[in-house]
Structure 1
Amino acid sequence: MAAVTEKLTREAAGLAAAATGTGPVVIWMEHDPYDQLILARCLAAFAAAGRMDGLQLILRDGFPGRARFIGLGQLPPPALRLLWADRRPVTPAILGLGQAVWAALRRPDPRDLAAIAAGGTPALPQMAPALRRYLAELPGLADGLSLTERLTLEMIAETPAAPPTAGRLFGRLMRETDPLPWLGDAMYLAILHQLAQARDPAIRLVGAADGDPYRAIVALTDAGRAVLAGRRDALSLAPPTRQIGGVQIDPAARHWRWDRDAEWIVETGPAIG
C-alpha cells in the first residue's frame, strides 16, 4: 500500500508541475474509458491552473490496418511518428469538457455523467462512447451484472466441460468480446474476486498449483447459471460493496443501475434484505 501511495503522490506532483509550468505539453491518450477518464483528470488540472498555452493532444480511436484497435501499444514506432504529426491544440472547449467529466465522475449520483455521455461530446468525440462503456460497469438493470461481469459469465458458460483460466478469459475479453476494451489485467482479476466473494458466488476460483492468479480455473456455480438464465439478480447474491468513481454500489441499500437498452441511469431499491 505504501508503494501505491508513493506512486500516486509522485504522479499527482508531476501533473501539478505540468499544469503550472510554461513548457510545451503533448498528451498522448487512447480512446478507451481508462485513458479518457485520465484525460479528464489532466484537463481539469490544466483548467484549474489556467493553463492552455502549449498544450497539445494526440488521440486516435483507430489506425489503418488494425481492424480491432485497442491502443497505442499495438503500433510500431513508424506509426507513432505519424501520430506525432497528427497532434492538435487543446482548446477551451476541450478543457471545459474535461472539467465537467472529472467533476461528474466523482459525484455519488451518476446522472450528470450519463447526461454528458447522452448529449455527445463534440469537443472530444471519443469521450462520449468511453463514458457509456464506463457507466456499463454499474449493475445492469435487468440482471445486476456489470457488462464485464456479464461477458465473463457468458464466456465461461460457452465451455462448461472445460472451464477457462483467468488469463484466457482476460485475453478473450480484450481481443473479442468487450466492445471497448479498457481494463488492465489486475483490474480484471479484482472483478473476478468480487464475483467469487459473494455470499452466494456466481463463480468459483480454483487456484493454480504454482499460485499464478492468471492460471486459476474459473467455473460457473449454480447461482451464476441462474443469473445468466434470468432467474436471479446478481446483486441478490450479496456481493461485496463496490465503488465506481464516486458511486457506491451496496446491494443492501438503494443504488444506481445502468439500463443497457436505454443507455440511462435508474435508481433501484435494495437487492437483498
Structure 2
Amino acid sequence: MQNILHITNGDGAGDLLTASTLPGDVLPWRDTMHQGPFPDIDDIDEVSRVRAKFLAGEALPVDAVQADMLARNNLLRLAADRDEVILWFEHDLLDQLQLVQILDWFSKPERRPGKLTLICIDDYPGIVPFRGLGQLSPPQIAGLVEQRVPVDAVMMDVSVRVWSAFRKEQPTDLFDILGSDMTALPFLAPALRRHLQEFPSSGSGLTRTEQQLLEIAAEGPVGPGHLFRENMAREDRLHMGDWQTFDRIARLMDTGCPLLRTVSGDAFLYPPVDNLLRDDFLAQQLELTPEGLAALSGDLEPGRIRRHEWLGGVELRSGQMLWTWSEREQCLRHLRF
C-alpha cells in the first residue's frame, strides 16, 4: 500500500478526506494566514510560535495551539519519506496563502516526497455558490483525486517569490509580483488582490471588510449572524470564517471612536472569547454610531480609526506611516493618517 499524505486547509475538508475511501493520512493546515504577523524568518518552528501566540488570542491556551502547530511541522518534515503528498486547496485567499507556504517548504529538493501533486478548484458541479471543499461529501471529495496534477518547477518558483514577498515589512514586492506571470497557479493573483484590499483605504481609512460590515449595519439594527452571512455573500472568494468576522465586528467597536455599537448599549459578546449561549449571542442587535455613518460617507478623518494589526510581514499601527490601498487607482500608497 502506498504511503500517502493529504494536506488541506483546516478540519472541514480534512474530516471529509478522513471519512472518504482514499488511503493515507490527513494533515489539516490550521492557520488563518490572512490575519496576524508572519516574521520573515525561515525557521518554521519559530514562525509557528509567533503564529500560535496570535491565533490563541484571549480565548485559547497558547501552549496547546503551539503544540498543535509544532506537531504539524514534524509531520511536514517526515513528508519526504512519503510515496506521495497530495495538496487539497481551493481558490480563496486563505487557501492560496497556505498553498504558497507549503510549496515554499517543498521547494527544497531534500524535503520532497516521491510525488507531489495538487488539487485546487474554484467550483463543483451542482454546488452554487461554491465556497470550498468543505461543502462536498466524502464520495465527492474522493472523486476529485483523479484531477490532481504534478507540482512543477514553475509553480514552485511562483510560490517561493510570493511567500518571500508576503513576509516582507513592505508590501511593495507583493504588489509588483501581480504584474508577473502567475498563470501556473491561476487563483493566486485574484487572492493576492483581495489581500491588498485589507489594507486601509487611502481615502476612508477602512479596509474592504470593515466597509462591507458597516454598509450592512447601515441597513438598520442587525444581529451578528446576519452580519456574517451578508458579509460572506459579498465575497466571491470567501476567506474569513465566523469567528474572524465576529472579531472584526468587535474591533469596529474599539477603534478610538467606535463605528458600531450594540443597540442595548452593552458590550458586544462573541465566541470564542466569551462563554454565552448561542441564542443570547445571536439576539444581540448592532447599529452604526454617528462616527460609523461618517466613515461610510467619507466624512470621518481616517486618523480617528485606531488600529494595530499585521498583514503578513507588514505592521499597521496608528500614528505611524501606514501602507494603504487605493481601489480606484489600484495601487498602494504610504500615508500618515
User: TM over 0.5: same fold?
Assistant: yes
Corresponding residue SS for 1:244: strand
Q: How many residues align?
A: 264
Q: 1:94 to 1:214 in 2, by over 3 A?
A: farther
* Matching residue within 74, 79, 86 for 1:26: 86
Distance 2:326 2:167 in 1: 20
Distance 1:117 1:89 in 2: 24
- Give the gaps of 5 or more residues in structure 2: 1-61, 270-274
Q: Is the 8 A contact 1:16 1:45 kept in 2?
A: no
Greater shift, 31-40 or 58-67, is seen at 58-67
Equivalent runs, 1:222-233 vs 2, <5 Å:
222-233=290-301
C-alpha RMSD of matched pairs (Å): 2.0
* Matching residue within 135, 141, 145 for 1:80: 141
Q: 1:83 to 1:140 in 2, by over 3 A?
A: same
Structure 2 residue 72 is matched with structure 1 residue 11: yes
**TM-superposition CA deviations, 1:128-166 (whole Å, max 9, x none):** 0011111111111221111111110001112x2xx2122
Greater shift, 25-34 or 163-172, is seen at 163-172
Distance 1:224 1:133 in 2: 23
Distance 2:65 2:142 in 1: 32
**TM-superposition CA deviations, 1:54-100 (whole Å, max 9, x none):** 00000001122233211011223343233111110000111111111
Equivalent runs, 1:143-222 vs 2, <5 Å:
143-158=204-219, 160=220, 163-174=221-232, 176-205=233-262, 206=266, 207=268, 210=276, 212=278, 214-215=281-282, 216-222=284-290
**TM-superposition CA deviations, 1:181-204 (whole Å, max 9, x none):** 101222212212221111111111
Distance 2:85 2:132 in 1: 21
Distance 1:65 1:144 in 2: 39
- Give the gaps of 5 or more residues in structure 1: none
Q: Could you tell me how far 1:9 is from its partner in structure 2?
A: 1.5
* Matching residue within 150, 167, 170 for 1:89: 150
Q: 1:214 to 1:40 in 2, by over 3 A?
A: farther
Structure 2 residue 313 is matched with structure 1 residue 246: yes
- Report what 1:113 is aligned to: 174
Distance 1:130 1:95 in 2: 17
Q: Is the 8 A contact 1:118 1:128 kept in 2?
A: no
Counterpart residue identity of residue 81, structure 2 = G
* Matching residue within 95, 101, 119 for 1:41: 101
Distance 2:285 2:108 in 1: 47
Greater shift, 34-43 or 259-268, is seen at 259-268
Corresponding residue SS for 1:85: helix
Using the size of structure 2 for normalisation, the TM-score is: 0.73
- Report what 2:330 is aligned to: 263
Counterpart residue identity of residue 236, structure 2 = P
Q: Is the 8 A contact 1:151 1:178 kept in 2?
A: no
Q: Could you tell me how far 1:244 is from its partner in structure 2?
A: 0.9
Q: 1:118 to 1:179 in 2, by over 3 A?
A: farther
Q: Could you tell me how far 1:32 is from its partner in structure 2?
A: 0.4
Distance 1:214 1:73 in 2: 25
Corresponding residue SS for 1:34: helix
Corresponding residue SS for 1:56: strand
Q: Is the 8 A contact 2:119 2:145 kept in 1?
A: yes
Using the size of structure 1 for normalisation, the TM-score is: 0.90
Q: Is the 8 A contact 1:148 1:178 kept in 2?
A: no
Q: Is the 8 A contact 1:195 1:239 kept in 2?
A: no
Identical amino acids, percent of aligned pairs: 31
Distance 1:168 1:223 in 2: 22
Q: 1:214 to 1:256 in 2, by over 3 A?
A: farther
